[in-house]
Amino acid sequence: MTLDLELLDAAEKLRYALRGLYLSRGYRRYRMGKFEEYDLYGRFKEFLTDERVLTFTDTDGKLLALKPDVTLSIAKNTPDDPAVLTRLCYDETVYRAGRIGGFREIMQSGLECMGPVTDASVGEVLELAGESLSRIRREFVLAVSHQGLLEAFVRYASSRPEIQKSLLTLAAEKNVQGLAALGAARALPEDRLRPLSELLRLYGPPARVLDRLEALSAQVGALEEYAGLRQALEAVMHSPLGDRVRLDPSVVGNGNYYGGVLFHGFVKGAPDRVLSGGQYDRLMDRMGKRSGAVGFAVYLNALEDLKPWEGTIC
């Protein structure tokens, strides 16, 4: 029996196309149940986009959750072997609190790579993120940064944790004026704050801004983090989709979980990001695992208002 794609709506076609893309690159499909023990999500609430979780008590007295996240489930259930690279893909529905009240069903497709994650592994995931975006709309941007690199610039600006937290918030907003105001209010030395200000002004194709980023990274003692970012970018920079990649230091994640490359995906016509991913080795460490990890999710619900549909699915 041959599948007739014309019988599928746009979202179904996209899920089918993304699944085919990931399977063709050697990823195995991961399936999770609708319910999992709440303990997992209770311990790692900070990793969730919203801490509110739908729960109920099972007939045996266990507190269960209606799945709010896929990555946590995969990280928990995948064997921890730092010598074996496990590559998994999924398309699942998760349940999260909406911005204006109530819970929503959110369709996600994505992939996770766990084990001995190298710069090459991260580069492959970045490349697949770009290919995923190209199947949604030809006009897209893949914005890439590095959590550890940004944190090095923040530490160079100030050694005080409360100030570092404010600096990270301003960095996520790309608020250079706010940085100057905070520096003046907290008497931060201008020469210590200047590299972070310059970092936030860097935006563009990697080939155009990487040399300047290298010089700034050397100034703050972050050449190791810079090298990791550059190596990961090599695969996608030289791919057919390389002209859609942008280095954007304002892409910031939760430092309790993310420590390496981070990226967001945007397509023309969608008001918010439709893809998000990164290296979450720190989460794996908090879970007591020795493996590294990198992955991303495509938020299919964010594409509902795209008109006309311009995906390159077939």
pLDDT digits (tens, 9 = 90+) for 154-199: 999 999 999 999 999 999 999 999 999 999 999 999 999 999 999 9
pLDDT at 48: 76
Task: Note the pLDDT of residue 209.
Answer: 95
122: in domain: yes
- Asked if the structure places residue 270 within a domain, the reply is yes
pLDDT on residue 308? 46
Within a domain: 222: yes
pLDDT per residue over 210-221, tens digit each?
999 999 999 999
8 pLDDT higher than 90: no
What region does 269 belong to: left with phi over 0, alpha with psi -120 to 50, or beta? left
What is residue 10's predicted lDDT score, i.e. its pLDDT? 72
For the chain, the farthest-separated pair of C-alpha atoms sits apart, in whole angstroms, at 71
Single-letter amino acid, residue 295: G
Average pLDDT over residues 245-262: 92
**Is it the case that residue 266 has pLDDT exceeding 80?**
yes
| CA distances for 277 relative to 90, 156, 208, 290, 295, angstroms | 14, 26, 23, 20, 5
Backbone angles phi, psi at 207, to 5 degrees: -60, -25
Q: Is residue 314 part of a domain?
A: no
Which pLDDT value is given to residue 5? 60
Contact 294, 278 (CB under 8 A): yes
Asked if the structure places residue 311 within a domain, the reply is no
Please check whether residue 95 lies inside any domain of the structure. Answer: yes
Indicate the pLDDT class of residue 267, thresholds 50, 70 and 90: very high
Q: Supply the pLDDT for residue 309.
A: 46
Identify any residues that bridge with 87 across adjacent strands, giving them in sequence order: 113
* 107: CATH: 3.30.930.10
User: Which of 255, 300, 220, 279 is CA-nearest to residue 46?
Assistant: 255
252: helix, strand or coil: coil
Please answer whether residues 155 and 188 qualify as being in contact, where contact means their C-beta atoms are separated by less than 8 angstroms. no
C-beta of residue 155 within 8 angstroms of C-beta of residue 236: no
pLDDT computed for residue 2 by the predictor: 62
Tens of pLDDT, residues 32-82: 877 778 787 788 877 777 777 777 788 888 888 777 788 988 998 999 999
Token pair 């991913």 in the structure block, residue:
277
Q: What is the mean pLDDT of residues 20-37?
A: 90
Q: Can you tell me whether residue 94 is helix, strand or coil?
A: strand
- In the chain, how many domains are there? 1
- Whether residue 151 is predicted with pLDDT greater than 90 in this model: the reply is yes
Kindly give, in sequence order, each residue whose CB lies less than 8 Å from that of residue 43, ignoring residues fewer than 6 positions away: none
187 is in which domain, residue-wise? 5-303
Supply the mean pLDDT for the chain.
Answer: 88
Most confident of 23-32, 91-100, 248-257: 23-32
CA-wise closest residue to 47 among 302, 314, 242, 295: 295
> What pLDDT does 99 receive?
67
- Position 312 in a domain: no
Q: What is the pLDDT of residues 98-124, one digit of tens each?
A: 666 677 788 899 999 999 999 999 999
Is 123 domain-assigned?
yes
Given this model, what pLDDT does residue 313 score? 41
